[in-house]
Structure 1
Amino acid sequence: MSYLQLQKIAKSFGDVQVVQEMDLSAAAGEFIVLVGASGCGKSTTLRMIAGLESPTSGRILIDGRDVTAATPADRDIAMVFQNYALYPHMNVAQNMSFALELSGTSKAVIAQRVDAAAQVLNIKHLLDRKPKELSGGQRQRVAMGRAIVREPKVFLFDEPLSNLDAKLRGHMRIEIAMLHRRLGKTTVYVTHDQIEAMTLADRIVVMDQGCIQQMGIPDEVFNRPLNRFVAGFIGSPTMNFLNATVKDVEGQLRFVGTGFGCEVPESMKATAHRFIGQSVVLGIRPQAIQLGASDHGLGFSLRVNVCEYLGTESVLSCTLLDEASSVTFTAPGNHMGLINQTVPVHVPLESIYAFEPGEHGRSLGL
């Protein structure tokens, strides 16, 4: 059963439609991550769930109750903001308990909930401190504690880690994942960081231009993207795209580009027949490109322009010789010696993606 439901939710600001008739549901205890670039409509969607924005049309249901017109306080949700939103004149304990005090919760219950949340978040030693005395990570824990003590039906997170440094973001991701497993609450989490989406989500919702481009478990979204936008957004480094044409060469379907060509993979042949003589876009993940020539798969030559050595692997930024397209690939070890060199590479057939032309061109392999 769906615990949180968005039914044909849409939002416009004047003539600008920010969210376009979205249908989305989350099961009880599910962790949903809305991911996309700035301006895609993900934060507006979260704010409509929270009641901070009113939808232009559509309905929002929580635990079977229509809350579309309900105030934020009447929705039984708790939201963690990007900027923490702590009261500077209150100490940690007061910040965490303030909403409970407003609702008339007894002092004994407040004390018990604050103590339990502080224990879970390892901030008991900070309860008497003011926000200005805390680090960014500690402030974020306090903001999370303030949400936890309310024991809401739904947790909402609006880019909660974007103000933290890289190392602390990684640590807080682990803490949020552990917290969700401990509490088991339905959670909607907004981020532009696809690494956060892949590591935290039960299901990822990839958004662009106010629309859901794909929704599924992380493995599905990464390995079976529905269109070129999803393929290019999910994955680091980002997927490479090369222009090609589908050709029938002596009865064999082939992808042919400038300086490269290969047989159409078996999984795409039924669809590729419809594109004979037409342009398509090949997608290749950087991790799928292998150094060295091969008689099998897709082979081509690259000129290495930049090598970023990361300790265990190198990220090589290259140029496809005959097409002048940019190509990035990863390889184990240190390959600084390949800078300004021309190297042969190949890609196994099963690692090739193909899409119709255009930013949101559909996949040929599904």
Structure 2
Amino acid sequence: MSITAKNIWKRFDGKAVLRGVTVEAPTGALVALLGPSGSGKTTLLRIIAGLEVADSGAVQFHDDDITRHSARDRNMGFVFQHYALFRHMTVFENVAFGLRVRRWPEQKVRDRVHELLNLVKLPEMAARYPAQMSGGQRQRIALARALAPEPKVILLDEPFGALDAQVREELRHWLRRFHDQFHVTSIFVTHDQEEAFEVADRVIVMHDGKVEQAGTPAEVFEHPVNEFVMKFLGRVNVFQTLLKDGRVLLGNVEMPVGKGAVVETGSGKADVYVRPHELDIGRTADTGNCIRGKVVHINPAGSVVKVRVHAEDFGLMVNVDISPEKYRSMDLRADDQVFVSPKTAKIFEPDYTI
């Protein structure tokens, strides 16, 4: 069951929090609404769920317009950040609640609840109360409760935001495995880029009440459409360059941005963006097209070694990511002189502002 929100506008106290937003979750897809706080993600999710009413626009299941349907009639499961479990009810009663409201036969209720508790790997928790469970267990019960009435769509509002890092990572893997098994059309809100890229089939980047970019995680990360998306999706070095005769120059260093209207017809200053892994580092200026600098800090923890270089000629701090193997082979240390060269770089239309 696909779901589409078309040209959604919403204002609070006269301020537009959604400005003509259109998003689509294809049948069976897991879609992430990704963006900073205040970008309109949760408001959009609540409008899709029927918990908020849009000022204008439409919400559709396939070709059916459900804009004026109540939240109950939309048959969607909603999972909140803070679980929203009933504290005075056992786990069994929490999961059964929505089924009893819908007047399911008691035996069918019991069968469905036991099926879901087995699905989320917590059958032994049926008689416990939420306070007797960990945060990760409570969130899995919240998902089981959302799944109980056999919804057409699952909506999740920062479902792992209240959990610690290790539990959050475990639940991300669990949600991805669950989705691969059952393929329920799902939309989840997050401000965590790593979470969106690891879990989602499709990422929709939002900012200031509108959609900046939509695509697969690889498309969005590797081909950002503007400065905001580039900066929001991970660390990036920003170099202020000169456009001259179809070249992009940082001093005598030419930035490999490729050809395009901005480069070929532009003049004056322009910001160029290079991610840390898109820079190479060496002890000699072999390529000739490189920035001289001094190592000021090295963080060798994890699968990537983060090297911070001071390029005194330009008054810049440059972040470079290298593999542990390269770090060991170079035997890098603080205060070493190095040469940094860009492997690729991006430039955007100069009139875009954040």
Shorter-chain TM-score: what band?
over 0.9
Query: What secondary structure is seen at the aligned counterpart in 2 of 1:7?
Result: strand
- 8 Å contact from structure 2 (residues 242, 269) kept in 1: yes
Counterpart in the other structure of 1:261: 253
1:319 to partner: Cα distance: 3.0
Cα distance, 1:73 vs structure 2: 0.8
Gap change, CA 1:329 and 1:359, over 3 Å in 2: farther
Residue 290 of structure 2: SS of its match in structure 1?
A: strand
Q: What is the aligned length? A: 349
Counterparts of residues 313-352 of structure 1 (less than 5 Å) = 313-333=304-324, 338-348=333-343, 351-352=344-345
Q: Return closer, same or farther for 1:316/1:263 CA change in 2, 3 Å cut-off.
A: closer
Counterpart check, 1:74 vs 2:73 = yes
Structure 1: which amino acid aligns with 2:349? Answer: E
Q: How does 1:4-83 map to 2 (within 5 A)?
A: 4-83=3-82
Map of 1:104 onto structure 2: 103
- 1:152 is matched with 151
**Distance in 2 between the 1:318 and 1:96 partners?**
54
Q: State the match for 1:356 in structure 2.
A: 349
Deviation (angstroms), 1:301:
2.2
Q: Distance in 1 between matches of 2:302 and 2:72?
A: 50
Deviation of 1:298 (Å): 4.7
Which residue is 2:122 aligned to? 123
Taking the aligned partners of 1:242 and 1:160, their CA distance within structure 2 comes to: 37
What is the Cα deviation at residue 359 of structure 1? Answer: 5.8
1:282 corresponding residue in structure 2: 272
* Conserved? CA contact 1:254–1:261, under 8 Å: no
> Could you tell me which amino acid in structure 1 is paired with residue 310 of structure 2?
T
Cα offsets for 1:238-268 (capped at 9, x unmatched): 12111111111xxxx321124x521654x42
Q: 1:263 to 1:45 in 2, by over 3 A?
A: closer
CA-CA distance at 1:71 after TM superposition: 1.6
2 CA distance for matches of 1:356 and 1:341? 37
Cα separation, partners in 2 of 1:85 and 1:245, compared to 1, 3 Å: same
Does the Cα contact within 8 Å between 1:279 and 1:357 map onto a contact in 2?
no
- For residues 346 and 317 of structure 1, the distance between their equivalents in structure 2, rounded to whole angstroms, comes to 14
Residue identity in the other structure for 2:279: I
Indicate the residue corresponding to 1:309 in structure 2. Answer: 300
- Per the TM alignment, residue 109 of structure 1 is displaced from its structure 2 partner at its CA by 1.7
8 Å CA contact retained: 1:51, 1:70: yes
Describe the shift of the 1:297–1:191 C-alpha distance in structure 2 as closer, same or farther (beyond 3 A).
farther
* 1:103-252 superposed matches below 5 A: 103-235=102-234, 238-248=235-245
Gaps of 5+ in 2: none
Q: Is the 8 A contact 1:153 1:185 kept in 2?
A: yes
**What is the CA deviation profile of residues 265-287 of structure 1, one whole-angstrom value per residue up to 9, with x for unaligned ones?**
4x424541121x23221111111
Q: Which runs of 5+ in 1 are unaligned?
A: 362-366
Per-residue deviation, 1:160: 0.5
Residue 43 of structure 1, CA deviation: 0.8
SS at match of 1:105: coil
3-state SS, counterpart of residue 272 of structure 1: helix
Please report the TM-score for the alignment, with normalisation by the length of structure 1: 0.90
Q: Secondary structure at the match of 2:54?
A: coil
Tell me, yes or no, if the aligned pair for 2:297 and 2:307 is still in contact at 8 Å. yes
- Separation of aligned partners in 2, 1:295 and 1:185: 53
Displacement of 1:294 in angstroms is: 4.9
Deviation of residue 64 (structure 1)?
Answer: 2.6
State the Cα distance separating 1:224 from its structure 2 match.
0.8
Alpha-carbon shift at residue 329 of structure 1 (Å): 1.6
TM-superposed CA distance for 1:322, in Å, is 2.3
CA distance in 1, matches of 2:304, 2:197: 21
User: 3-state DSSP class of the match of 1:110?
Assistant: helix
Secondary structure of the 2:204 match is strand
| In 2: Cα distance, 1:151 partner to 1:193 partner | 28
Partner SS for 1:268: coil
SS of the aligned residue for 1:315 comes to strand
Deviations 1:119-158 (CA, angstroms, capped at 9, x unpaired): 1110101111100000010011100110111210110010
State the TM-score, normalized to the length of structure 2: 0.93
Separation in 2, partners of 1:220, 1:246:
27
Q: CA deviation at 1:194?
A: 0.4
